Amino acid sequence: MLSRRSFSAALLASPVALRAQQTGLKARVKIDTERTIGDIDPKIYGNFLEHLGRCIDGGIFEEASPLSDKFGYRRDVFQAAKNLNVTQLRWPGGNFSSNYNWKDGIGPRDKRPPRLEMAWGSVESNRFGTHEFLEYAEMLGTEPYICTNLGTGTWSDAQQWVEYCNSSEDTAMTRLRKQNGRAQPWKVKYWGLGNEMDGPWQMGHRSAEDYGKFALEAAKLMKWTDPDIKLVAAGSSNFSNGIDWTGWNRTVLDQLKTHADYLSIHLYVGNRDNDFTEFMTSAVELDHRIDTVAGIIDAVLAGAPGNRKIYIAWDEWNVWYRARGSKEHGRRILEERYNLEDALVVASFLNSFVNHAHVVKMANMAQLVNVIAPIFTNDKGLFLQTIYYPLQLFAQNSRGKALELMVDSPKFKSKRYDDVPYLDTSAAYRDGTVVMNVVNRHKDQEIETEFEAQDKKFAGPVEVSVVNGPDIKSENNFDSTTVKTVTSSATADGNKLRIRFAPHSYTMLKAKLV
């Protein structure tokens, strides 16, 4: 079978094929269930909660609202999060975490101290803290992931937080936990060693060397408290011109290679120039960054004893460019409203995570509610933003093994990248069911595509779920849902399946293979 690379090269070499690319808009995809990339970690479908704007207060938690339960959790938001199949929740930040004293957020709510919050310019009431977060995660059936304060915090703060949450010993910390109503430890497995420590905007920002040394001491104490925890080191988030972002990762990993289990990387993209073609290549940038970071991890671990692994945690990612800027302070901040083209980029990011399933083992869309988020509330209800739908389809269906597809698609050239396939794809295979995710990045032409199963045949109807809308700028709001998932079915013929992918669409195909 031709590999993806050799097939593309052959196609490019032929002028006839090139002409066909311009006019025919046909594509071919070959599926081989034995050609696997790796196990898809369910944690790539995570989200993120930060004490920021209306994400927590006014998002998942609104004590005075008639829409909330007796603990203050918004029931409608909870249901929308449940339907999204959130596999992991990161908390409490973000930038917020770098000056957060977790001890402010425990004990009787009315006695908790309000504090000046400097990351986002507000006052933190502390009415939502460790117990509220971990109870919420438990109710939702999601894996909690706590990011410690390695900005203004100390090693002991981080260590004692692990002790408070996870220890079964009889200590001052566990007595406090019991006194606050929780007898059994929560056994929180995932812990972040600070947030975006490479950014000068971060409270307690350090150089890579200083951060690496500081984080290593915290990591030692945290793992000595609970050897079962997994630690996420703060990798790159600052890709500004002139910043040595690869150097940051290399230096930090050199310090932390014995203790970190993941390296956190963040990426936000946007369509500032209103250039759809360029915007559609956002995941190409993501692919390159993943490949580069994977190479750095390999280099750092070369010669390491045993089978030590460090994976990538893409623990903040999304489209975010409109609701930004220094004016963004106060309660209603970062309230990005999403359109169809944003949803397509989100689907492409998810394709990229699946296509790197061997190395990307965690990813958290930032965030969950109101703040650059798939769920948007007011005091009367909520609506689901365009980006909710691709994340939901992936989280519910793209599980099991990631497959490497052979894709022969017409291509385009953008300002940054040559030879970008119009069809952006990924595939997952589990228990005889294949799920294929296809984004047609063409703005106004459909692409007729023939799928060919190499080692199996299609059996039964093919489920077709499409996220599209009348226009690339279509948005949802409280009154109408213009962009959403529409399902239908298709019929395959033996090992062949033909589908026309509408312009500017994301399609998930789900079929049995025998």
Checking DSSP bridges between strand 433-440 and strand 423-430, what pairing results, if any? Answer: antiparallel
Minimal CB distance residue for ligand AHR:
94
Contact residue for ligand AHR among 46, 93, 194, 469 (CB under 6 A): 93
CB of 269 to ligand AHR, least distance (A): 13
- Residue where the block lists tokens 């599209």: 468
Q: Which is nearer to ligand AHR, 93 or 469 (CB)?
A: 93
Distance of CA 334 to the CA centre of its chain: 17
Instruction: Judge whether 49 and 91 are in contact, CB under 8 Å.
Output: yes
**Judged by CB under 6 A, does residue 149 bind ligand AHR?**
no
Choose the binding region for ligand AHR from 29-37, 93-101, 221-229, 270-278 (rule: CB under 6 A): 93-101
**Judged by CB under 6 A, does residue 316 bind ligand AHR?**
yes
Instruction: Judge whether 354 and 403 are in contact, CB under 8 Å.
Output: no
Kind and range of the H or E run holding 453: strand 447-453
Q: Give me the sign of the Cα torsion angle 196, 198, 200, 203.
A: positive
Contact residue for ligand AHR among 196, 287, 341, 404 (CB under 6 A): 196
Which of 464, 406, 468, 470 lies closest to 435, judged by CA? 464
Checking DSSP bridges between strand 122-124 and strand 458-468, what pairing results, if any? Answer: unpaired
Contact residue for ligand AHR among 284, 366, 368, 492 (CB under 6 A): 366
Q: Locate 414 and state its tokens.
A: 């953008």
Contact residue for ligand AHR among 32, 50, 404, 475 (CB under 6 A): 50
Q: Which is nearer to ligand AHR, 143 or 198 (CB)?
A: 198
**Judged by CB under 6 A, does residue 405 bind ligand AHR?**
no
Instruction: Judge whether 59 and 381 are in contact, CB under 8 Å.
Output: no
**What residues contact residue 304 under an 8 Å CB cut-off, 6+ apart?**
257
N-to-C CA span, the chain: 20
Q: Which is nearer to ligand AHR, 140 or 366 (CB)?
A: 366
Choose the binding region for ligand AHR from 27-35, 91-99, 272-280, 417-425 (rule: CB under 6 A): 91-99
Residue 463 known to be catalytic: no
Which of 217, 215, 212 lies closest to 252, judged by CA? 212
Which of 83, 38, 53 lies closest to 392, judged by CA? 83
DSSP labels for 158-208?
Answer: HHHHHHHHH--S--HHHHHHHHTT--S-----EEEE-S-TT-TTSTT---H
Write down the catalytic residue from 50, 124, 196, 336. 196
Q: Which is nearer to ligand AHR, 93 or 374 (CB)?
A: 93
Q: Which is nearer to ligand AHR, 133 or 412 (CB)?
A: 133
Contact residue for ligand AHR among 95, 126, 236, 351 (CB under 6 A): 95
Contact residue for ligand AHR among 195, 236, 251, 398 (CB under 6 A): 195
CB of 336 to ligand AHR, least distance (A): 10
Phi and psi torsions of 450, nearest 5°: -110, 120
CB atoms within 10 A of CB 101: 15
Instruction: Judge whether 112 and 127 are in contact, CB under 8 Å.
Output: yes
Contact residue for ligand AHR among 59, 72, 94, 374 (CB under 6 A): 94
CB of 485 to ligand AHR, least distance (A): 26
Checking DSSP bridges between strand 190-193 and strand 230-234, what pairing results, if any? Answer: parallel
Choose the binding region for ligand AHR from 88-96, 157-165, 177-185, 493-501 (rule: CB under 6 A): 88-96
The count of residues interacting with ligand AHR (CB under 6 A) is: 9
Which of 477, 481, 407, 484 lies closest to 449, judged by CA? 407
Q: Which is nearer to ligand AHR, 166 or 264 (CB)?
A: 264
- Which residues are registered as beta bridge partners of 57? 61
Residue 341 known to be catalytic: no
Q: Which is nearer to ligand AHR, 186 or 338 (CB)?
A: 338
Q: Which is nearer to ligand AHR, 271 or 409 (CB)?
A: 271
Write down the catalytic residue from 117, 316, 404, 475. 316
Q: Locate 136 and state its tokens.
A: 């919420």
Residues with catalytic roles:
196, 316
User: Which residues make up the interface to ligand AHR (CB under 6 A)?
Assistant: 50, 93-95, 195-196, 316, 366-367
